[in-house]
Amino acid sequence: MAIGFAALGRLSVFWASLGLSLCLLSCAAAKPAALPTYGYDVIARYPHDADAFTQGLFYEDGYIFESTGFWKKSSIRKVELETGKVLQQENLPDELFGEGLVRVGNFLVNLTWTSEIALIFDYKTFELKSYIPYEGEGWGLTTDNEVIYMSDGTPEIRVLSRANLSEIKRIPVTANGKPVEKINELEWIEGEIYANIWETDRIARIDPQTGFVTAWIDLSGLLENHGTVTETSSDLNGIAYDKAAKRLFVTGKYWTHLFEIELTAPKH
Ligand SMILES: [Ca+2]
């Protein structure tokens, strides 16, 4: 029996819909699931030096430790959380642009952006003791008290020895299989690396074993709705964690405030 044009038409519709059904199955499976995105609640806010170009931030011994960048404005600081008052400060030489900061025992390690040296300061006196060279750019630092994690402007996090900053390995950081650019300030929090992503309002939560971003934190509106936007206020940057009280602090470059935040249920 010959198949008429009408029957052919029905067949083509059938095949087309079958193809669509197959695509819905396979195409959905091929497309990676969106990563959960956490929101935030502001728990408290504290004054922050609006002239501090925040590069490194951590909480230790009841104080905020902060490093600042920019030419002729780079420094390391010990700051009183509640008042934002700078209790202790050491300025970097004018030719250095400061970056990340981490404590290693009796020392503070402070990266420089393009000078390829890490400055080693005494933790208590802030006296500059020595420096250690490295290759490439220096961005963020944190530690899990076993090793040091360093970002350098690439989608990789360097893992360094706490003894001498020698490189142990690199962790390629990916989100849904794509390299994550501009990984900036870092914080080790309960087995994860939290990372500011430069020029965004987002923090990535990174699994240090795989380098996979497991979730995002969207901090858009934080300064606008809870602080003061100024002519100079710039990028979100700076994450600190009070391990004992499980308090999470964030701030930004030239921001008027430092915030304690809590994460809210993720949207998928
Ligand atoms: Ca930090």
CATH number at residue 212: 2.130.10.10
CA of 154 to the centre of ligand 1 (A): 18
Mean pLDDT of 242-268: 95
Alpha helices (H) in the chain, listed in sequence order: 5-30, 222-226
CA of 55 to the centre of ligand 1 (A): 9
Same domain for 146 and 57, yes or no, is: yes
Same domain for 19 and 70, yes or no, is: no
Mean pLDDT of 226-253: 97
Q: Each residue of 138-197: pLDDT tens digit?
A: 999 999 999 999 999 999 999 999 999 999 999 999 999 999 999 999 999 999 999 999
Indicate the pairing of strand 37-47 with strand 213-218.
parallel
Same domain for 111 and 11, yes or no, is: no
- The set of residues, in sequence order, having a beta carbon less than 8 Å from that of 212 and lying 6+ positions away, is 173, 174, 175, 206
- Going by pLDDT thresholds of 50, 70 and 90, the confidence category of residue 225 is very high
CA of 67 to the centre of ligand 1 (A): 10
Which residue shows structure tokens 């990789």? 156
Token reading at 106:
């009796």
| pLDDT, mean over the chain | 91
Same domain for 77 and 196, yes or no, is: yes
CA of 258 to the centre of ligand 1 (A): 13
CA of 142 to the centre of ligand 1 (A): 6
Same domain for 118 and 186, yes or no, is: yes
Mean pLDDT of 54-76: 98
Same domain for 78 and 138, yes or no, is: yes
Same domain for 208 and 132, yes or no, is: yes
Same domain for 27 and 68, yes or no, is: no
In terms of Cβ atoms closer than 10 Å to its own Cβ (0-12, 13-18, 19+), residue 77 is buried
Q: Each residue of 118-140: pLDDT tens digit?
A: 999 999 999 999 999 999 999 99
- The set of residues, in sequence order, having a beta carbon less than 8 Å from that of 105 and lying 6+ positions away, is 123, 162
Same domain for 18 and 145, yes or no, is: no
CA of 241 to the centre of ligand 1 (A): 8
Same domain for 233 and 132, yes or no, is: yes
For residue 14, give its domain range: 1-31
Model confidence, pTM: 0.88
CA of 60 to the centre of ligand 1 (A): 11
- Write out the residues surrounding ion ligand 1, Cβ under 5 A: 57-58, 187, 239
Q: In what order do the strands lie in the sheet with 86-91?
A: 54-60, 63-68, 75-79, 86-91
More confident residue, 232 or 22: 232
Same domain for 195 and 77, yes or no, is: yes
CA of 33 to the centre of ligand 1 (A): 29
Same domain for 67 and 161, yes or no, is: yes
- Going by pLDDT thresholds of 50, 70 and 90, the confidence category of residue 1 is very low
Looking at residue 267, its pLDDT comes to 74
Looking at residue 209, its pLDDT comes to 97
Q: Each residue of 8-32: pLDDT tens digit?
A: 445 454 444 544 454 444 444 555 6
CA of 95 to the centre of ligand 1 (A): 24
What is the number of other CB atoms lying within 10 angstroms of the CB of residue 143? 19
CA of 145 to the centre of ligand 1 (A): 13
Looking at residue 33, its pLDDT comes to 73
In terms of Cβ atoms closer than 10 Å to its own Cβ (0-12, 13-18, 19+), residue 207 is middle
CA of 87 to the centre of ligand 1 (A): 19
CA of 108 to the centre of ligand 1 (A): 13
The number of domains in the chain is 2
- C-alpha dist (Å) from residue 53 to 106, 162, 209: 25, 26, 31
Token reading at 53:
């170009």
Per the CB < 8 A criterion, the answer to whether 193 and 211 are in contact is no
